[in-house]
Amino acid sequence: MLLENLSLLFFKNYEEASLAFSEHINCFIGNNGSGKTNLLDAIYYLSMTKSAFPGTEAQSIKQGEDFFMVKGRFLVGSEKHTVQVSLKQGQKKMVTHNKALYEKMSEHIGRFPVVLISPYDTDLIREGSEERRKYFDSLISQLNHVYLEQLIQYSYVLKQRNSLLKQFAERHYYDRDYLHILNEQLVPFGEDLAREREKFLQEFVPIFQKHYHHISGSSEAVTLTYKSQLPGADFAQLLHQAERRDLALQRTTVGPHKDDFVFLMDGNPVKNFGSQGQQKSYVIALKLAHFEVMAARHHHKPLLLLDDIFDRLDEKRITQLMQMVAAHTFGQIFLTDTHLERTDKILEGLSESIRRFEVKEGQVKVIGEL
């Protein structure tokens, strides 16, 4: 799978841009704050219909404008696919595939897979369980459309249930029958999500462990486990047992939305016992396993986005990654860096198809090919 070109209009700090890409390595070179990462985020939008980074959708609109548009053409085999994402202030986001508007944007997820490795990845280790759930939910959703639909339905019913619990407290009444109806709707979605998460990790963990030992060159035992009240328990019974607590706290306190993915090294939490280098190796291994699983499932390689990794990783880990690039482990790659000379040196001899772009204050131009 290739992304042949990208067009932007009023996206973040870009008024307008139009780029054609190399089939292998594409480098965005510029100072911090110039808009390099915004180009990666535009590519991410085309795959996932949303930004890779925290913030509201409206923040993707260039200041002073009232809409943005991101458009790109993918080549999958011999078929061309044009995807466009646009948003106007105060209106619903629009996503089209070959000019046909999606009724549900969830139908697009997984068609054009992408993996992003960024400086923020260690947040998966440092932050709370919600960050890890979002990551694995996004990963599994790109692989399994049924899981995505179940997740959407679970989230919808959960929102209804939490709203009802707040109404009970605010209006001083209690409708047990209505609450139990929502329980009955929530239970099958929750049980299916928990089973699929557990099943996914059985496939994912050995691949992750392989990549960790390759990228780190060390022997510590790493794994990740799924921490959940499900599966194996009766979700309906758990909801019943937690009913008084839920009423008091005005929110649903049991279910897959409370699950966690626990990152371990030699049996201890990576957050507390892993060095900075070990933590970086851990999250890179997660992303490489993410890439491998998606490539196998989709039968084509995802786009790989590398954001400022040359600034953030030591020489050893960069060397390991570049060896994988040289071996054509990955397909099309998009990377950002602040120093052209460093980029050229690292990539020297790795590919016959490297295109470099200079990014400066929301302007981007080709500066040559290697």
Identify the segments of the chain with pLDDT beneath 50.
none
Cα 11 to Cα 238: distance, rounded to the nearest angstrom: 46
For position 229, what pLDDT does the model report?
Answer: 92
Q: What is the CATH number of the domain that holds 188?
A: 1.20.1050.90
- Residue ranges of the alpha helices (H) in 235-339? 235-241, 243-249, 270-273, 276-298, 309-312, 315-326
Residue type, 193: L
pLDDT in tens, 229-280: 998 899 999 999 999 999 999 999 999 999 999 999 999 999 999 998 899 8
Q: What is the DSSP string of 25-72?
A: EEEEE--TTSSHHHHHHHHHHHHHSS-SSSS-GGGGBPTT-SEEEEEE
* Residue 91 included in any domain: yes
Burial 285-298 (b: 16+ CB within 10 A, else e): bbbbbbbbbbbeeb
Task: Give a yes or no: residue 342 inside a domain.
Answer: yes
Contact present, 355 and 49 (Cβ < 8 Å): no
Distance CA 208, CA 308 (A): 22
Other Cβ atoms less than 10 A from the Cβ of 320: the count is 18
The strand pairing partners of 222, in sequence order, are 265
CB 295 within 8 A of CB 106: no
Residues 297 and 308 in one domain: no
Task: Specify if 171 maps to a domain.
Answer: yes
Same domain, 79 and 92: yes
CATH code for the domain of 1: 3.40.50.300
Do residue 43 and residue 156 come from a single domain? no
Residues 292 and 313 reside in one and the same domain: no
Residue 122 in domain: no
| Domain end among 301, 318, 347 | 301
Is residue 344 a part of any domain in this protein?
yes
Q: Look at residues 277, 301, 325 and tell me which one is the last residue of a structural domain.
A: 301
Helix ranges (H only) for 78-175 are 123-126, 129-143, 145-171
Last residue of a domain, one of 280, 301, 322: 301
∠ CA 210-211-212 to the nearest 5 degrees? Answer: 95
In this structure, the answer to whether residues 248 and 346 fall within a common structural domain is no
Judge if 144 and 265 occupy the same domain. yes
134 and 264 belong to one structural domain: yes
Note whether 150 and 238 are same-domain residues.
yes
Q: Structural domain of residue 201, as residue ranges? A: 128-301
Q: Tell me the C-alpha distance between 42 and 51, whole Å.
A: 8
Instruction: Say how far apart CA 264 and CA 228 lie, in whole Å.
Output: 16
Q: In this structure, is residue 119 part of a structural domain?
A: no
- Burial code (b: 16+ CB inside 10 Å, e: under 16) for 236-265 equals bebbeebbeebeeeeebebbbbebebebbb
Q: Say what the pLDDT of residue 369 is.
A: 67
Whether residue 121 lies inside any domain: the answer is no
Model pLDDT, residue 316: 80
Residues 185 and 294 in one domain: yes
| 290 and 172 in a common domain | yes
Tell me, yes or no, whether 293 and 342 share the same domain.
no
**Number of domains forming the structure of the chain:** 2
Note whether 296 and 252 are same-domain residues: yes
Residue 368 lies in a domain: yes
For residues 242 and 235, what is the distance between their CA atoms, to the nearest angstrom? 11
